[in-house]
């Protein structure tokens, strides 16, 4: 019994001793480097308290006699804080900073070849830091760089759960080689690199992989090779360099920030995803090679945003890409559009399709993705077909320079036989779902023999055009319409252009402009308002109750048929005494004349007494004469021949600016009408 009681007493005594040791408060000491020489951290004689620093200690390493190097080569050291004015080498072991409320500052150089920095405190480096060697270097806590840091060659800094490395404003962090300089070793909360300074790849023609979450508000500079970001992060700041900055994996949060690509290339590739809420990618070249865009992301690149490669590029559901720069779709590359996706090509933006294929490809049976164009949508390469498999609205310009551009989904700028809006510059063919265009409210320019607007089956959509309220312009192109045509907009016929109307061509407003082309109307040409102007041929009888103004000027309108002018006006401009220098109307038929004859001198031209100008010729019979002759100069006499009318100057004169402005005002009125024609 005595020995048993003695055993219990011993046990109680041990418990009391343990409690006393564990529960006693630690005394915080300031411990300093005690020798004027380089040395090992783990040697007690190197410290002024003749012991190795431990938990609770504030460590101060500062000597006035010189600059020394302290090497932490082994063991696990936990301290409260660190102030080091000397050079520090971490070549092994663990250095843990355990008080988050205290400052840990390295003012000297820091060489990190092996070992771990951990704890809840933040190590602040203000000098030069070198991370080198093939052995493991690990961050379990937080490091904040205010100076310069370089990772040499293929060296790697491993990051564990929750680790943070900050590169502050004015600091720089260099990757001096290829490999994986920042390498995550956790499946939990990923390590983070926050860059507000300069993050640079200065050496290595290959790839440097950033396997930390990377938050950028500073500058990323790929001076050579490729910097590949594999864990996503915050997309911001500036990306530059002669190399490539590649967003290859993870989610990159653009939010509403503007990212500037000042040079080089920023590339979205692999499984990378950019998520935005109104932010912009601006500056130089952005390449979308694969991956996805979600939310609202804007592109405003001065060089080009390039959509390239055969891999899928996904526009997520209900997401928007806005362009006010230049987007080039290379070859047969494409964007997959999900439900309610939207590509907005804003005013000033250009989307250039440089190949055949399906550059915009719907992947949904629900609400279709849309392409809204207020800029320029251009097909500049590929003699085959480019298919836009998105719904489409055009309030800008569709420019087909080659091949065929086909819109496979709803064409919102067309309704019930009316082309409602937009401008169409066509040297190739545009196809969309339609039952023919009977009314044109848009601006249509057919600029080559094979140009045209067709339905999905390839049938010409303009052959039954009945009303033109916009612009219909033909150049080196032939168009035949199987019915009468009413014009209140602008019809323009350029070199080698021919417009044939099976019925009457009637203009009540607007202009018919001849630039070397021909207008044929089996039911005659009725100019009831607006102006017939330029140089070219009219095949058919002409009734003029508006204005006929040959020349651009000068020029000649030739009418193969009769010419009847009732309440209208014939305007001629004189710029010289030879026929090619003044306006003329030549009629291969009869003429019936009333209304106005108005004469103007071109700027810089003055007539002399006796100068003559044969402004009107006919081959048939003349009936009547002009009711009113408008001569602002008061010098011309009308001389009627059997088949011509000649204006003869009775005295010399100098052109008056006001005389030229009369015609200019009329032409400005026509120009105003053209602007209103575009909805």
In order, the DSSP letters of 486-540 are EESSEEEE-TT-EEEESS-EEESSSEEEEEEEEEEETT-EEE-SSEEEEEEEEES
CA-to-CA distance for 150 and 131, rounded, in angstroms? 6
- Residue 679 predicted with pLDDT over 50: no
* Share above pLDDT 90 across residues of the chain, in percent, rounded to a whole number: 91
Q: What is the mean pLDDT of residues 254-268?
A: 96
Residue 669's pLDDT is: 41
668 pLDDT above the threshold of 50:
no
Comparing 41-50, 310-319, 404-413, 653-662, the range with the smallest average pLDDT is 653-662
CB within 8 Å of 82: residues ≥ 6 apart = 58, 59, 61, 97, 104, 105, 106, 123
pLDDT of 571 over the 80 cut = yes
Measured CA to CA, the distance from residue 527 to residue 547 in angstroms comes to 7
Query: How many angstroms separate the CA atoms of 125 and 361, rounded?
Result: 51
Q: Judge contact between 239 and 258, C-beta under 8 A.
A: no
Tell whether the model's pLDDT for residue 234 goes beyond 50.
yes
Q: 623 vs 660, which has greater pLDDT?
A: 623
Residues 6+ apart with CB under 8 A from 492: 471, 472, 473, 474, 513, 515, 517
Q: Cα torsion for 646, 652, 658, 659, to the nearest 10°?
A: 0
Mean pLDDT of 304-314: 93
Q: Residues with Cβ < 8 Å from 481, sequence gap 6 or more?
A: 462, 463, 464, 465, 499, 500, 501, 502
Look up residue 116 and give its two tokens: 């771990």
Residue in the block written with tokens 């291969």: 588
CA torsion angle 261 262 265 269 (round to 10): -10
Q: Using only the alpha carbons of the chain, give its radius of gyration.
A: 41
Q: How many CB atoms sit inside 10 A of residue 436's CB?
A: 15
pLDDT in tens, 201-228: 999 999 999 999 999 999 999 999 999 9
Q: Residue 5's pLDDT band (boundaries 50, 70, 90)? A: very low
d(CA 378, CA 353) in angstroms, rounded, equals 6
Residue 15 has a pLDDT of 35
Given a contact cutoff of 8 angstroms between Cβ atoms, the answer to whether 615 and 598 are in contact is no
Asked whether the CA dihedral 664, 665, 670, 676 is positive or negative, the reply is positive
Residue 415's contacts (CB-CB under 8 Å, 6 or more residues apart) are: none
- Which of 190-219 are b and which e, b meaning 16 or more Cβ less than 10 Å from the residue's Cβ? bbbbbbbbbbbbbbbeebbbbbbbbbbebb
Tell me the average pLDDT across 499-515: 98
Give the chain's mean pLDDT: 93
Taking residues 22-43, what's their average pLDDT? Answer: 80
Structure tokens given for 452: 């045209």
| E strand or H helix at 9 | helix 2-23
Question: Which band of pLDDT confidence, cut at 50, 70 and 90, is reported for residue 552?
Answer: confident
Q: CB burial class (10 A; 0-12, 13-18, 19+) of residue 189?
A: exposed
Instruction: Please give the residue that has the higher pLDDT: either 674 or 87.
Output: 87
pLDDT the model gives residue 302: 73
Residues contacting residue 18 through CB under 8 Å, at least 6 positions apart: none
45: DSSP letter: G
- What are the DSSP E strand ranges found in 308-451? 313-315, 320-323, 326-330, 335-337, 342-345, 350-354, 357-362, 370-373, 376-381, 385-388, 391-394, 397-400, 404-407, 414-415, 418-419, 423-426, 429-432, 439-440, 443-446
The average pLDDT across 278-284 equals 94
pLDDT at position 27 is 53
**Is 80 a residue whose pLDDT tops 90?**
yes
| Confidence at residue 657, expressed as pLDDT on a 0 to 100 scale | 55
Q: Is the pLDDT of residue 26 over 80?
A: no
Q: How many helices (H) and strands (E) does the chain have?
A: 2, 75
Cα angle 469, 470, 476 (rounded to 5 degrees) comes to 120
Average pLDDT over residues 644-650: 98
Query: What does the pLDDT average to over 589-606?
Result: 97
pLDDT(653) > 70:
yes
Percent of the chain whose predicted confidence (pLDDT) is above 70: 92
Query: Is the predicted pLDDT of residue 9 greater than 50, yes or no?
Result: no
pLDDT band at 23 (very low <50, low <70, confident <90, very high): very low
pLDDT, residue 462, reads 98
The structure tokens 């594999």 sit at 230
Using pLDDT thresholds of 50, 70 and 90, give the confidence band for residue 237: very high
Contact 132, 155 (CB under 8 A): yes
Can you tell me whether residue 10 is helix, strand or coil? helix
């Amino acid at each position: 019994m005595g020995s048993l009681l003695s055993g219990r007493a011993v046990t109680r005594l041990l418990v009391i001793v343990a409690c006393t040791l564990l529960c006693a408060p630690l005394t915080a000491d300031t411990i300093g480097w005690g020798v004027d020489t380089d040395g090992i951290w783990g040697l007690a004689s190197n410290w002024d308290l003749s012991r190795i620093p431990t938990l609770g200690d504030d460590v101060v390493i500062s000597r006035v006699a010189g600059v020394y190097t302290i090497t932490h080569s082994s063991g696990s050291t936990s301290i409260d804080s660190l102030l080091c004015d000397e050079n520090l080498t971490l070549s092994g072991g663990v250095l843990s900073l355990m008080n988050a409320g205290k400052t840990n500052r390295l003012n000297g150089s820091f060489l990190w070849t092996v070992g771990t920095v951990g704890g809840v405190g933040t190590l602040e480096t203000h000098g030069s830091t070198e991370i080198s060697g093939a052995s493991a270097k690990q961050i379990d806590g937080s490091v904040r760089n205010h100076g310069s840091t370089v990772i040499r060659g293929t060296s790697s800094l491993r990051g564990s759960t929750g680790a943070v490395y900050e590169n502050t404003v004015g600091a720089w962090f260099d990757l001096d080689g290829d490999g994986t300089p920042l390498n995550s070793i956790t499946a939990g909360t990923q390590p983070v690199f926050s860059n507000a300074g300069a993050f640079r790849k200065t050496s290595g023609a290959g790839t440097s992989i950033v396997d930390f979450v990377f938050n950028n508000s500073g500058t990323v500079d790929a001076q050579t090779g490729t910097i590949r970001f594999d864990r996503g992060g915050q997309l911001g700041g500036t990306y530059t360099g002669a190399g490539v900055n590649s967003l290859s994996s993870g989610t990159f949060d653009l939010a509403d920030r503007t990212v500037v690509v000042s040079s080089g290339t920023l590339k979205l590739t692999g499984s990378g995803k950019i998520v935005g809420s109104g932010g912009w990618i601006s500056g130089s070249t952005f390449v979308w090679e694969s991956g996805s865009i979600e939310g609202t992301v804007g592109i405003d690149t001065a060089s080009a945003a390039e959509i390239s490669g055969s891999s899928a590029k996904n526009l997520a559901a209900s997401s928007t890409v806005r362009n006010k720069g230049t987007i080039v779709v290379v070859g047969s590359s494409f964007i997959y559009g999900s439900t309610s996706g939207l590509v907005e090509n804003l005013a000033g933006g250009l989307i250039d399709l440089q190949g055949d294929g399906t550059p915009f490809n719907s992947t949904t049976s629900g609400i279709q993705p849309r392409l809204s164009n207020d800029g320029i949508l251009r097909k500049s390469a590929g003699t085959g077909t480019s298919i836009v498999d998105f719904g489409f609205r055009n309030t800008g310009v569709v420019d087909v320079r080659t091949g065929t551009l086909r819109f496979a989904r709803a064409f919102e700028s067309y309704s019930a036989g009316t082309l409602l809006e937009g401008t169409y510059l066509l040297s190739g063919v545009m196809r969309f779902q339609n039952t023919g265009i009977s009314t044109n409210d848009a601006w249509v320019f057919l600029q080559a023999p094979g140009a045209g607007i067709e339905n999905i089956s390839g049938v010409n959509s303009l052959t039954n055009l009945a009303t033109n309220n916009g612009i219909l312009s033909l150049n080196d192109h032939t168009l035949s319409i199987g019915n009468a045509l009413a014009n209140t907009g602008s019809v323009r016929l350029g070199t080698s252009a021919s417009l044939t109307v099976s019925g009457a061509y009637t203009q009540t407003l607007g202009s018919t402009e001849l630039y070397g082309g021909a207008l044929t109307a089996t039911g005659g040409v009725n100019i009831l308002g607006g102006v017939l102007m330029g140089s070219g041929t009219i095949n058919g009888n002409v009734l003029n109750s508006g204005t006929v103004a040959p020349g651009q000027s000068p020029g000649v309108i030739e009418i193969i048929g009769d010419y009847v002018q009732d309440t209208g006006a014939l305007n001629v401009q004189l710029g010289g005494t030879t026929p090619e220098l003044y306006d003329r109307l030549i009629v291969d038929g009869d003429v019936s004349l009333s209304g106005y004859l108005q004469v103007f001198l071109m700027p810089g031209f003055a007539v002399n007494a006796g100068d003559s100008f044969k402004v009107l010729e006919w081959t048939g019979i003349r009936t009547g004469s002009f009711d009113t002759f408008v001569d602002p100069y008061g010098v011309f006499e009308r001389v009627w021949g059997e088949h011509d009318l000649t204006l003869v100057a009775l005295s010399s004169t100098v052109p008056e600016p006001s005389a030229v402005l009369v015609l200019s005002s009329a032409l400005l009125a026509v120009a105003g009408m053209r602007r209103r024609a575009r909805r």
